Structure 1
Amino acid sequence: MTTPITVLIADDHALFRSGFRAILDTQDDIDCVAEVADGEQAVAEVQRLRPDVAVLDVRMPRRTGLGAARSILSVPGNRTRIIVLTTHDSDDYVREAVTAGALGFLLKSMPPEELISAIRIAARGDVLIDPSIVRRHLGRFAESLATPEPDAAINRLTTREREVLQLLSRAHSNAEIADRLRVGEQTVKTHVSNILRKLGLRDRTHAVAYAHLTGFATRDNAG
């Protein structure tokens, strides 16, 4: 039997916490191990329980979700993946979440099944940022994610690297990309490393943001 994905929920609205937990409790592969009401508690409980995924609301007392994310992700050896939830798709929030290293930035208005899917995606180490948020709000800090001439940068990628980037932007895991392209997972990891180096990007989160920001993710043909 597969070990369940352990999840911590941090939100100062008790109704949201209890409702979200009730939804997660219906999933055989997800185990909600804690729910807390503020950012300080989130940091403390993540350190104590080491959940696979922490779902953090942006606005919380004592410490914001973004502040908690930075603290959690700065701990050496940390394995907890972060999803940031908000009712406000502010570009400042998106920028801070991406900079902190969160693997997901989602609106609370998303359907429950999509939030559940986001937890599974984050647990395997892949990125999920609502594409509409990326398109609307990453322009203000595009220089930190993209070169001045994105088409020229994309052209430095091989055909296979462009295929990998497009699949990566659609939240596919390394295993799924490997299966689709009929190559080994290590080959996919090598392609991802090459993509980050050629485009001057820090990590997979920035690669996904870059692909959406430049419109590459929605092209019919990545080649």
Structure 2
Amino acid sequence: MIRILVVDDHAIVRSGLITLLNDHKTREVIGEAAEGNEAIAKALELKPDVVLMDLSMPHGKDGMTATTELKKLIPDIAILVLTMHDDDEYLFRAIHAGASGYILKNAPHEELLTAIHSIAQGDAYLYPTATKRLMSEYLEKLKNGENKDIYDTLSDREKEILGWIAKGYANREIAEHLIISVKTVETHKSNLMEKLGLKTRPELVKFAMKKGLLNFE
């Protein structure tokens, strides 16, 4: 029996998910929550095997923050992000936060159930198009003979800012952490992207992952 906690700020969505998930003897929804703080409290109280976590919850703590905190409090808990955000940046941030899986809200019911059973068994799950896209881009870079030493061309400050960007921090947040201006952060970001031959933030995240700059533990 997989014990599940459903977290979403829309009551109708929670109701639909609970009906779907309870329709089998191998699954049981043991609780629900409307925002991150409630989700953490319920998880600590009920000890679910899987938390089905929405990301965008405007009233209270968001799903990304709740995921990070839950993994610190209950390291073995499996968290499946269920979101409308089909975006590489959200995907990498969720993985970094500790999510075991990432699936879109428009996915077929069968895919959602497969994802839940997969992460409950200790596996990871990404929706198919995300996996295909990431693998395709990774293989293309290998094919083009990307220079693995290009990272060494960055200055120490550029490497530092690359790490912050890869972990999902906005320019203003980085500036506050490093006690520099937002303009300086933007300049360093522009310079390092030019040196690395990258054009988008998700590309920076993927580059940082390959260089081992992100600790997912």
TM superposition score normalised by structure 1: 0.62
Aligned equivalent of 2:28:
31
Which residues of 2 match residues 160-199 of structure 1 at below 5 A? Answer: none
Partner secondary structure for residue 74 of structure 1: helix
Which residues of 2 match residues 63-82 of structure 1 at below 5 A? Answer: 63-75=61-73, 78-82=75-79
Which residues of 2 match residues 89-128 of structure 1 at below 5 A? Answer: 89-128=86-125
Aligned equivalent of 1:173:
none
Aligned equivalent of 2:209:
145
Partner secondary structure for residue 210 of structure 2: coil
- How many Å separate the matches in 2 of 1:37 and 1:73? 19
**Partner letter of residue 145 of structure 1?**
M
On the 8 A contact 1:40/1:62 being kept in 2, the answer is yes
Partner secondary structure for residue 31 of structure 2: strand
Shift of 1:80: 1.4
Q: Which runs of 5+ in 2 are unaligned?
A: 135-200
Where does structure 1 differ by over 4 angstroms across 4 or more consecutive aligned residues?
Answer: 199-204
- How many Å separate the matches in 1 of 2:123 and 2:90? 20
Aligned equivalent of 2:190:
none
Aligned equivalent of 1:11:
8
Per mean C-alpha deviation after superposition, the further-off stretch among 83-92 and 25-34 is 83-92
Deviations 1:106-161 (A, max 9, x none): 100011111011111010111001232242695341123225xxxxxxxxxxxxxx
Aligned equivalent of 1:168:
none
Q: 1:20 aligns with which of 14, 17, 20?
A: 17
- How many Å separate the matches in 2 of 1:87 and 1:203? 23
Deviations 1:4-52 (A, max 9, x none): 1000000011111100110111111001000111111001101111100
- How many Å separate the matches in 1 of 2:108 and 2:78? 21
What percentage of residue pairs aligned between the two structures are identical?
A: 34
Structure number, greater radius of gyration:
2
On the 8 A contact 1:7/1:53 being kept in 2, the answer is yes
Aligned equivalent of 1:84:
81
Partner secondary structure for residue 102 of structure 2: strand
On the 8 A contact 2:95/2:216 being kept in 1, the answer is no
On the 8 A contact 2:89/2:202 being kept in 1, the answer is no
- How many Å separate the matches in 2 of 1:25 and 1:59? 24
Q: 1:121 to 1:127 in 2, by over 3 A?
A: same
- How many Å separate the matches in 2 of 1:12 and 1:203? 27
Aligned equivalent of 1:53:
50
CA RMSD of aligned residues (A): 2.2
Q: 1:138 to 1:132 in 2, by over 3 A?
A: farther
On the 8 A contact 1:12/1:36 being kept in 2, the answer is yes
On the 8 A contact 2:96/2:215 being kept in 1, the answer is no
- How many Å separate the matches in 1 of 2:121 and 2:108? 21
Shift of 1:203: 6.1
Q: Which runs of 5+ in 1 are unaligned?
A: 148-198, 205-223
